[in-house]
Amino acid sequence: MTAARIAVPLILAIASASAALVIAPRAFEAQYLLAAQDDPIALADHAVARSFDAAVAAREIEAALAANDPDLAVSFLALAREHNVAVDPELAEKVERAKGSVATAARSFVSFARGLMTGEAEDVSGLAGTAVGDLFVVGDIRDVVREGWRLALAARPMSSSSDWPASVWR
């Protein structure tokens, strides 16, 4: 009888301790998040510390370079260096080459020309190209060619600004 009276509380104590070991890390995490809920910088730092590693850094830098956004790649490289995350030196060199002044000027020129010829802007340089095209005859020629092409394909020409595709308004 004495063993049964001691065994039940002992089993409950062991079960409670096991549950506490499982729950405690999440409880401390929740306490930190509640304490930092009004501090976006602390929340962002905490999220980066939990999820930013070498694989994530390499993946995001490669994605930024593939999207032709060297500024974003540079910011991920700086974030990796700030958090002491190892980045492949070859990838870092690739980022440095992409952000070079010649590469930046070439990207701006291509974006300007694309905006001038298509009327669709992806960045500020493209917007400048679109504006120049709209102010001079290039924009009118571009619109005539586009609408003539649509008419030749038996598509309905755009009659008002509400008919324009959403990509024009980006």
Taking only the tens place, the pLDDT of each residue in 95-107 is 888 877 667 788 8
Neighbours of 129 (CB within 10 A): 26
| d(C-alpha 34, C-alpha 43), whole Å | 10
For the chain, residues with pLDDT lower than 50 are: 169-170
pLDDT tens readout for residues 127-149: 999 899 888 888 888 888 888 88
Domain extents in the chain: 12-50, 52-99, 103-169
| d(C-alpha 42, C-alpha 7), whole Å | 46
Give the pLDDT confidence score for residue 108 in this predicted structure: 86
Token pair belonging to 16: 């409670």
| d(C-alpha 38, C-alpha 35), whole Å | 8
Give the pLDDT confidence score for residue 169 in this predicted structure: 47
Give the pLDDT confidence score for residue 62 in this predicted structure: 92
pTM: predicted TM-score of the whole model, two decimal places? 0.51
